[in-house]
Chain A
């Protein structure tokens, strides 16, 4: 009976998204929250059942590898984070006049969540591609929902680059099919040829496409504008969840081990590049966006050096970065602009939450960001490549100084008298995510056991 829940898990948010436009502005958020709560419930239930092994569902009863297969494995458990963070983003925006909580906004947001859930459950490369398109196109739409100047251009640029990545990935899927005669992930792995140009083209295509979707340096150029201009709740989803689909796609790529050296250097470049660009940002959301590039670097480095560490960091960074973007949204909401000097004094709770989140994203032990950083450092030393451990630690040092500089502007400048603490509907999601990040930081041992590559 259990496997039938797999298509249900995908169908809930997608159907919810399709139905969302029939609701009124007042009821749409409630609908969105309900749909995501149901998604979260099913995803949590399936995650609980993972102890008994990976859950597989052959669509329409066609046996694997001939039919379409859905699989719920450790990576698919990320669907819980997808549902939770999307729901908190809606809660955060509820009651505001922004487009996020309009019926269309909720529809796009739910479709994006559904695309991500489908992407996580897909067990063949074509289905993977289809859901990647669903989530990407809704993501372009979410960026365009912003009222900020330049949001349209940012969204369009994101669309162009994302579409290029999609085409490359689709071509690679085709190439892989001609090489192996199969699209099922498990089956492809068995039939993969030992080498040859076509194979390397396919692998290269997957890697380039997914690295672009993940915004790894130097393919990150679309990210800062898109994440900084999008509404903050959307930024939380984009930075926390959507870019993670790129690295999860890499984890699903066959023959990833052959790209060891490339991943090392791309990861290192991302780590340092992201941190250095973050250093010169004056805008909080751009700082957060570049710190995402840096953290993606950590994950990509981890793909080569310590896959468990990378996988744990996918989850931990999602929670932490979502909290930070929501906190930034609360600051901007109260300040009425991007000028945030001295605002922290009038918003002590949000500031404290932001500070804890910043510690986590830097990777100060024992917060959530530390586990991945520690494991990848160990991996680098174990592999006899200490230079990557040094790059990793250096970049988190640079990030620490970026966040410190911002916290000074926030909390150690003259207070702004006209500002009050963020409203409860914003505070609760932020505090929930921060609390969750503290818990995740303390249970690193358990997480590693769960991931267990």
Chain B
């Protein structure tokens, strides 16, 4: 299903198109926004831009050609900015400056890339493979890698996440980074003209660097941000294998990761709000004061590491089998190292929270209503893991989306 809106530059229309890949991103966004929306008391500006970012994410999902994708992608970058700096502290504003500098530079590279592509193959609607010029291909990936937070252009992620309100961090990690990965998938959908060893290298480097830095980071939200950098690099890692099954796993990972990481950030927000806990080193024994919150946190952490039968396991399994099929053993090793690193940066938190010296003080779990979003994220993690093979579940749709790829 597609629709050509106005011809906003000569020869290229604002083009909306519905396919399996876009539908998955849109559905994920819809659920995630519902989970993070119940945060009243943040005022009109917050609500306005929260709604705007949702609309623009849907635009990214339904964009039918490269330039339309860029339109929504750039506007999304800008609309998320007031949310990142919502606190208006000097620290938040500084992080906002970094964020803008990064994402706008990425957008500018993309614009140049799309100009290259347009000159040689025209508007390039998704769904019809084209001969991408190698320069355009490389520039496109470079442009998308800024938001996809690949090393060395990941800098905005660990800065922006700690200063943004928790629901916004959840969105940034859950979907903002994912739009970058999504863009890369769209590029591969158009065609991959050059060897992708470079992408594999960069993605592998990102998985490992992200994990290693996360282990050494004390600030909880920043540690989760580094985890996002590490985990989301699975998507380009899977893409670069050029295997349909690995690709399906990569697409699936966007969805499963969104709910797990979204839930983790919401938990971090609750910890900060209820107990003022910002750092992992302050979390000794907090599970005894907030058992529900930390219980959820533990479940989501296990999912993130990839313990069966949780949703994180499914994506790693699918990506892993795809890599094995294609004989990409090195990528597979990186994938498993990533999981190991995830255990190393998440399990200490869980351990200290449950088994550290008991924190003194009354029970501090928030009201049941406030807990609903995190519990829902946990429920999704279980459900998407156990039910992964059911028809209509993301795995089937992701396989459908991946099967349409030419190469």
Name A residues whose Cβ lies closer than 8 Å to a Cβ of B: 308, 359, 364-366, 370-371, 374-375, 377-378, 381-382, 389-390, 393-394, 396-397, 400-401, 404-405, 408, 411-413, 441-446, 448-449
Q: Are B112 and A442 in contact (CB under 8 A)?
A: no
Q: Are B9 and A371 in contact (CB under 8 A)?
A: yes
- C-alpha spacing A375/B112, complex, angstroms: 11
- C-alpha spacing A442/B11, complex, angstroms: 12
Contact digits for B104-118, partner A, Cβ 8 Å, 1 yes 0 no: 110010011001101
Give min CB distance, A215 to chain B, whole Å.
25
Q: Are B104 and A397 in contact (CB under 8 A)?
A: yes
- C-alpha spacing A133/B56, complex, angstroms: 49
Give min CB distance, A369 to chain B, whole Å.
12
Given contacts A371-B8, A371-B9, A408-B93, contact A364 B115 (CB under 8 A): no
The yes or no answer to B146 lying at the interface (CB within 8 A) is no
Q: Are A396 and B112 in contact (CB under 8 A)?
A: no
8 contacts between A and B (CB under 8 A): A365-B9, A365-B70, A366-B8, A378-B119, A382-B119, A393-B111, A408-B97, A445-B9
Q: Are A365 and B8 in contact (CB under 8 A)?
A: yes
Q: Are B105 and A446 in contact (CB under 8 A)?
A: no
- C-alpha spacing A411/B43, complex, angstroms: 14
Q: Are A401 and B7 in contact (CB under 8 A)?
A: no
Q: Are B108 and A393 in contact (CB under 8 A)?
A: yes
Residues of A within 8 A of B391 (CB): none
Tell me the chain B residues, 44-102 only, with Cβ under 8 Å from chain A: 67, 70-71, 74-75, 78, 81-82, 85, 88, 93, 96-97, 100-101
Q: Are A370 and B9 in contact (CB under 8 A)?
A: yes
For B9, give the chain A residue with the smallest CB separation. A444
Across the A-B interface, give the 3 residue pairs with the lowest CB-CB distance, nearest first: A445-B7, A448-B10, A444-B9
Give min CB distance, A385 to chain B, whole Å.
13
Residues of A within 8 A of B74 (CB): 364-365
- C-alpha spacing A70/B6, complex, angstroms: 35
- C-alpha spacing A386/B104, complex, angstroms: 19
Q: Are B8 and A381 in contact (CB under 8 A)?
A: no
Q: Are A374 and B112 in contact (CB under 8 A)?
A: no
Q: Are B78 and A374 in contact (CB under 8 A)?
A: no
Residues of A within 8 A of B105 (CB): 397
Residues of B within 8 A of A413 (CB): 88
Q: Are B7 and A378 in contact (CB under 8 A)?
A: no
Residues of B within 8 A of A401 (CB): 97, 100-101, 104
- C-alpha spacing A412/B163, complex, angstroms: 15
Q: Are A364 and B78 in contact (CB under 8 A)?
A: yes
- C-alpha spacing A370/B12, complex, angstroms: 13
The yes or no answer to B153 lying at the interface (CB within 8 A) is no
Given contacts A359-B78, A378-B115, A393-B111, contact A400 B9 (CB under 8 A): no
Residues of B within 8 A of A446 (CB): 7
- C-alpha spacing A407/B130, complex, angstroms: 41
Contact residues on B (Cβ < 8 Å of other chain), bracket: 20 to 34
- C-alpha spacing A228/B14, complex, angstroms: 37
Q: Among A308, A365, A381, find the residue whose CB has the most chain B CB atoms closer than 10 A.
A: A365
- C-alpha spacing A404/B118, complex, angstroms: 29
Give min CB distance, B57 to chain A, whole Å.
17
Given contacts A381-B116, A393-B111, contact A400 B7 (CB under 8 A): no
Q: Are A412 and B6 in contact (CB under 8 A)?
A: no
Residues of B within 8 A of A378 (CB): 115, 118-119
Give min CB distance, A374 to chain B, whole Å.
5
Q: Are A442 and B8 in contact (CB under 8 A)?
A: yes
- C-alpha spacing A362/B97, complex, angstroms: 16
Contact of B112 among A366, A389, A408, A412 (CB under 8 A): A389
Residues of A within 8 A of B101 (CB): 401
- C-alpha spacing A449/B70, complex, angstroms: 23
Q: Are A390 and B112 in contact (CB under 8 A)?
A: yes
- C-alpha spacing A390/B116, complex, angstroms: 12
Given contacts A365-B71, A381-B116, contact A408 B96 (CB under 8 A): yes
Q: Are A364 and B75 in contact (CB under 8 A)?
A: yes
Residues of A within 8 A of B67 (CB): 365
Given contacts A390-B112, A393-B112, A408-B93, contact A374 B9 (CB under 8 A): yes
- C-alpha spacing A370/B107, complex, angstroms: 13
- C-alpha spacing A378/B12, complex, angstroms: 13
Residues of A within 8 A of B118 (CB): 378
Tell me the chain B residues, 1-52 only, with Cβ under 8 Å from chain A: 6-14
- C-alpha spacing A56/B97, complex, angstroms: 54
For B136, give the chain A residue with the smallest CB separation. A381
Q: Are A412 and B93 in contact (CB under 8 A)?
A: yes
Q: Are A445 and B11 in contact (CB under 8 A)?
A: yes
Contact digits for B167-202, partner A, Cβ 8 Å, 1 yes 0 no: 000000000000000000000000000000000000
- C-alpha spacing A446/B13, complex, angstroms: 11
- C-alpha spacing A393/B96, complex, angstroms: 21
Give min CB distance, A416 to chain B, whole Å.
15
Residues of B within 8 A of A405 (CB): 97
Q: Among B10, B71, B112, find the residue whose CB has the most chain A CB atoms closer than 10 A.
A: B10
Given contacts A393-B112, A412-B85, contact A441 B8 (CB under 8 A): yes
Give min CB distance, A82 to chain B, whole Å.
25
Residues of A within 8 A of B108 (CB): 393-394, 396-397
Residues of A within 8 A of B82 (CB): 411-412
Instruction: A366-B71, A374-B111, A374-B115 given; name 6 further pairs at CB < 8 Å.
Output: A365-B67, A381-B119, A393-B108, A397-B105, A444-B8, A445-B8
Contact of A377 among B81, B93, B97, B112 (CB under 8 A): B112
Contact of B115 among A377, A404, A449 (CB under 8 A): A377
- C-alpha spacing A394/B88, complex, angstroms: 28
For A405, give the chain B residue with the smallest CB separation. B97
Residues of A within 8 A of B115 (CB): 374, 377-378, 381, 389
Q: Are B6 and A443 in contact (CB under 8 A)?
A: yes
- C-alpha spacing A389/B113, complex, angstroms: 11
For A452, give the chain B residue with the smallest CB separation. B10
Q: Are B78 and A412 in contact (CB under 8 A)?
A: no
Residues of B within 8 A of A400 (CB): 100, 104
Residues of B within 8 A of A444 (CB): 7-10
Residues of B within 8 A of A412 (CB): 82, 85, 88, 93
Q: Are A445 and B96 in contact (CB under 8 A)?
A: no
Residues of A within 8 A of B104 (CB): 397, 400-401
Q: Are B10 and A377 in contact (CB under 8 A)?
A: no
- C-alpha spacing A240/B38, complex, angstroms: 45
Give min CB distance, A405 to chain B, whole Å.
8
Given contacts A365-B74, A397-B104, A408-B96, contact A377 B6 (CB under 8 A): no
- C-alpha spacing A97/B17, complex, angstroms: 54
- C-alpha spacing A365/B8, complex, angstroms: 9
Residues of B within 8 A of A382 (CB): 119
For A412, give the chain B residue with the smallest CB separation. B88
Q: Are B10 and A445 in contact (CB under 8 A)?
A: yes
Give min CB distance, B3 to chain A, whole Å.
15
Residues of A within 8 A of B88 (CB): 412-413
For B77, give the chain A residue with the smallest CB separation. A364
Residues of A within 8 A of B85 (CB): 408, 412
Residues of B within 8 A of A365 (CB): 8-9, 67, 70-71, 74
Q: Are B78 and A442 in contact (CB under 8 A)?
A: no
Give min CB distance, B266 to chain A, whole Å.
25
Residues of B within 8 A of A394 (CB): 108
For A440, give the chain B residue with the smallest CB separation. B8
- C-alpha spacing A398/B116, complex, angstroms: 22
Residues of A within 8 A of B14 (CB): 366, 442
- C-alpha spacing A364/B8, complex, angstroms: 13
For B88, give the chain A residue with the smallest CB separation. A412
For B120, give the chain A residue with the smallest CB separation. A381
